[in-house]
């Protein structure tokens, strides 16, 4: 029985390169014929070593039987129109195929053709990024709070206790806070909503009263009142642009820090006595959905994964997803667009139509799915074993290929050299941004999110999620390579989210 034999052999967990060597030595031909991947690459390069007979013979003799063909072959339908977009897409597939087919000689693979998570190297990489940085990092000089968040969140997902960084972080955060409210991207920089979001998340992750008390909540609230617009959205900075990042960042800050919703009398958004910081925000998000079904930064922009994430995060704070998503979005169209972001053979996501796979969209697009799933399933109960489905939510946790995303992350997005860290794609170098967001996407693919309860129409603070390990089969990675769960709306460890929220819930005033 050939299938049984190959399975049994695969279970011995021989590194893939040895398997290839073993299969080669048992072949009678002296000249090795091209692998399936070489065929695909030749086809992409417009060469013809691809006779159907040669192809089917090779399919039987090469490659791990535990890697589904979809991850090692070209898509069955290929456009015959060549453009610069189709050319870079072909190049990207050619670049990823050897990694996906477990043909990289220096990397050991398991029986599914998946390498280990290089946890210790990724930890070292992130720790290094928290230290003193050389001159070439100057381009990040206005994004220092982001760098802190990426590293601290990445370390937390990898299971590291980051409380040792508390004192240094507190000092750094103080140096970047402005009396007029909010944090800048560096010392002396004007406050920016994205930097403020990142700094507040970083402070939440290290946790503790001293870290929380750095934040001047009254000044932050006053500053948010000046950023809130009559159309419901938020400016990113005084005199800056209004876009959907502002909607999400503001919603996170207001609820995490329990800020008052009241608008100051001078706020440009104070059109009636009853208008507040959340007035019109859901409708603002609605207007950002495009004809494609995705979400753009502003009205009439191009749909992009990072903005879909901001839209869903914001709506999940305004209320439970099964209510707010359906009220403000065309959910079927959004699902169609999100689904189109996952590519084969790559398995990872692109950020927009006709663009390339990139590891960071494992988070921006990947982390939309748990919220979409929660919105379709509605509130459930912990009475159900999370890995046993009931009729009503039978398919809600498999709306995308978890296997594809996990393969892209382990095979293509991990830097497997001494350097460590995660990357956009194999031809790019790792950085803290991609390390954070690839790990966050991995966490979402390895867990199931359920909305447990939502009390009526209230804010997200009243919604509760259960995030538990996803144990569906096949589990193509080792259990030790499962990373930690993370809060599905705030993207800090769930316990840290609860700590800061309960701290500020107990002190509603300033």
Closest to K ion by CB, 349 vs 410, is 349
Pick the catalytic residue: 118, 216, 358, 466? Answer: 358
Identify whether the C-beta of residue 374 lies closer than 8 Å to the C-beta of residue 326: no
Tell me the closest approach of the beta carbon of residue 153 to Zn ion, in angstroms.
16
Pick the catalytic residue: 402, 423, 434, 450? Answer: 434
Closest to Zn ion by CB, 233 vs 441, is 441
Pick the catalytic residue: 360, 368, 411, 412? Answer: 360
Tell me the closest approach of the beta carbon of residue 11 to ligand FPP, in angstroms.
38
Tell me the closest approach of the beta carbon of residue 177 to ligand FPP, in angstroms.
19
What is the rounded distance in angstroms from the CA atom of residue 377 to the CA atom of residue 383?
15
For residue 325 the two structure tokens come to 């998503």
Which span sits near Zn ion by CB under 5 A: 39-47, 289-297, 416-424, 465-473?
416-424
Q: Which residues ranging from 121 to 150 are in contact with Zn ion (CB under 5 A)?
A: none
Counting contacts by CB under 5 A, is residue 431 touching K ion? no
Pick the catalytic residue: 112, 197, 307, 361? Answer: 361
What is the rounded distance in angstroms from the CA atom of residue 149 to the CA atom of residue 203?
9
Residues 6+ apart with CB under 8 A from 501: 255, 256, 258, 461
Binding at 245: pick from Zn ion, K ion, ligand FPP, none (beta carbon under 5-8 Å per type): ligand FPP
287 catalytic? Reply is no
Tell me the closest approach of the beta carbon of residue 423 to Zn ion, in angstroms.
8
| Exposure on the CB side of residue 75, measured as CA atoms within 13 A | 13
Residue 168's CB is within 10 A of a number of other CB atoms, namely 12
Based on the number of CB atoms within 10 Å of its own CB, is 418 exposed (0-12), middle (13-18) or buried (19 or more)?
A: exposed
Tell me the closest approach of the beta carbon of residue 231 to ligand FPP, in angstroms.
19
314 catalytic? Reply is no
Counting contacts by CB under 5 A, is residue 360 touching Zn ion? yes
Closest CA to 503 of 203, 291, 177: 203
Closest to Zn ion by CB, 220 vs 409, is 409
Closest CA to 450 of 495, 396, 493: 396
Closest to K ion by CB, 234 vs 364, is 364
Tell me the closest approach of the beta carbon of residue 16 to ligand FPP, in angstroms.
30
What is the rounded distance in angstroms from the CA atom of residue 488 to the CA atom of residue 466?
9
For residue 484 the two structure tokens come to 């930690």
Q: What is the gyration radius of the CA atoms in the chain, in angstroms?
A: 24
Closest to ligand FPP by CB, 228 vs 304, is 304
Identify whether the C-beta of residue 199 lies closer than 8 Å to the C-beta of residue 176: yes
Q: In Å, what is the CA distance from 121 to each residue of 47, 155, 163?
A: 39, 11, 20
122 catalytic? Reply is no
Tell me the closest approach of the beta carbon of residue 351 to K ion, in angstroms.
6
* Strand partners of residue 449: 467
What's the CA dihedral at 147, 409, 380, 378 to 10 degrees?
80
Q: Which residues ranging from 341 to 360 are in contact with K ion (CB under 5 A)?
A: 358
Identify whether the C-beta of residue 285 lies closer than 8 Å to the C-beta of residue 314: yes
Closest to ligand FPP by CB, 32 vs 240, is 240
352 catalytic? Reply is yes
431 catalytic? Reply is yes
What is the rounded distance in angstroms from the CA atom of residue 397 to the CA atom of residue 470?
9
19 catalytic? Reply is no
Closest to Zn ion by CB, 252 vs 360, is 360
Closest to ligand FPP by CB, 113 vs 233, is 233
> Interface with ligand FPP by CB under 6 A: which residues?
194, 245, 248-249, 304, 306, 310, 351-352, 355, 358
Residue 23's CB is within 10 A of a number of other CB atoms, namely 14
Q: Candidates 90, 415, 424, 466: give the one binding Zn ion (CB under 5 A).
A: 424
* Strand partners of residue 262: 276
424 catalytic? Reply is yes
Residue closest to Zn ion when measured from CB atoms: 360
Q: Candidates 358, 403, 415, 481: give the one binding Zn ion (CB under 5 A).
A: 358
Tell me the closest approach of the beta carbon of residue 436 to ligand FPP, in angstroms.
11
What is the rounded distance in angstroms from the CA atom of residue 263 to the CA atom of residue 481?
47
Q: Which residues ranging from 353 to 412 are in contact with K ion (CB under 5 A)?
A: 358
- Site of tokens 């498999």: 398
What is the rounded distance in angstroms from the CA atom of residue 468 to the CA atom of residue 270?
42
Which parts of this chain interact with Zn ion (CB under 5 A)? 358, 360, 424
Contact residues toward K ion (CB under 5 A) are 358
Residues marked as catalytic: 304, 352, 355, 358, 360-361, 424, 431, 434
């Amino acid at each position: 029985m050939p299938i049984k034999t190959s399975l049994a052999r695969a279970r011995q967990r021989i590194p893939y390169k040895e398997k290839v060597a073993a299969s080669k030595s048992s072949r009678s031909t002296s000249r090795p014929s091209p692998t399936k991947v070489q065929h695909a690459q030749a086809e992409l390069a417009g060469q013809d070593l691809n006779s159907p007979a040669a192809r089917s013979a090779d399919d039987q003799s090469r490659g791990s039987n535990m890697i589904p063909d979809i991850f090692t072959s070209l898509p069955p339908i290929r456009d015959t129109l060549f453009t610069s977009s189709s050319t870079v897409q072909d190049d990207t597939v050619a670049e990823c195929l050897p990694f996906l087919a477990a043909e990289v000689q220096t990397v050991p693979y398991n029986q599914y053709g998946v390498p280990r998570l290089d946890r210790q190297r990724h930890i070292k990489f992130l720790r290094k990024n928290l230290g003193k940085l050389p001159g070439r990092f100057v381009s990040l000089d206005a994004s220092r709070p982001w760098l802190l968040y990426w590293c601290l969140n990445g370390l937390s997902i990898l299971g590291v206790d980051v409380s040792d960084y508390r004192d240094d972080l507190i000092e750094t955060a103080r140096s970047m806070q402005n009396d007029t409210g909010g944090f800048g991207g560096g010392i002396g920089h004007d406050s920016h909503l994205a930097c403020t979001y990142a700094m507040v998340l970083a402070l939440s992750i290290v946790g503790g009263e001293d870290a929380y008390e750095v934040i001047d909540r009254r000044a932050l609230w006053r500053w948010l009142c000046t950023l809130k617009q009559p159309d419901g959205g938020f400016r990113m900075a005084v005199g800056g642009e209004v876009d959907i990042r502002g909607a999400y960042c503001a919603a996170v800050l207001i609820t995490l820090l329990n800020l008052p919703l009241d608008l100051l009398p001078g706020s440009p958004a104070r059109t009636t006595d009853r208008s507040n910081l959340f007035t019109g925000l859901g409708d603002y998000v609605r207007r950002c959905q495009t004809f494609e079904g995705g979400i753009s930064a502003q009205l009439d922009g191009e749909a992009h994964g990072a903005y879909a994430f901001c839209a869903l995060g914001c709506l999940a704070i305004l209320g439970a997803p099964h209510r707010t998503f359906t009220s403000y979005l065309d959910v079927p169209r959004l699902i169609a667009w999100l689904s189109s972001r996952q590519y084969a053979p790559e398995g990872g996501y692109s950020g927009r139509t006709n663009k390339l796979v990139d590891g960071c969209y494992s988070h921006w697009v990947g982390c939309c799915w748990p919220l979409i799933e929660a919105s379709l399933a509605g509130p459930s109960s912990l009475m159900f074993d999370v890995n046993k489905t009931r009729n009503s939510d039978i398919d809600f946790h498999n709306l995308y290929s978890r296997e594809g995303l996990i393969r892209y992350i382990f095979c293509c997005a991990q830097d497997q050299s001494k350097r460590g860290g995660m990357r956009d794609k194999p031809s790019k170098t790792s950085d803290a941004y991609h390390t954070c967001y690839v790990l966050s996407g991995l966490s979402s693919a390895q867990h199931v999110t359920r909305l447990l309860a939502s009390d009526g129409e209230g804010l997200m603070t009243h919604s509760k999620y259960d995030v538990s390990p996803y144990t569906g089969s096949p589990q193509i990675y080792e259990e030790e390579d499962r990373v930690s769960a993370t809060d599905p709306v705030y993207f800090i460890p769930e316990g840290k989210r609860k700590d800061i929220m309960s701290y500020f819930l107990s002190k509603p005033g300033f």
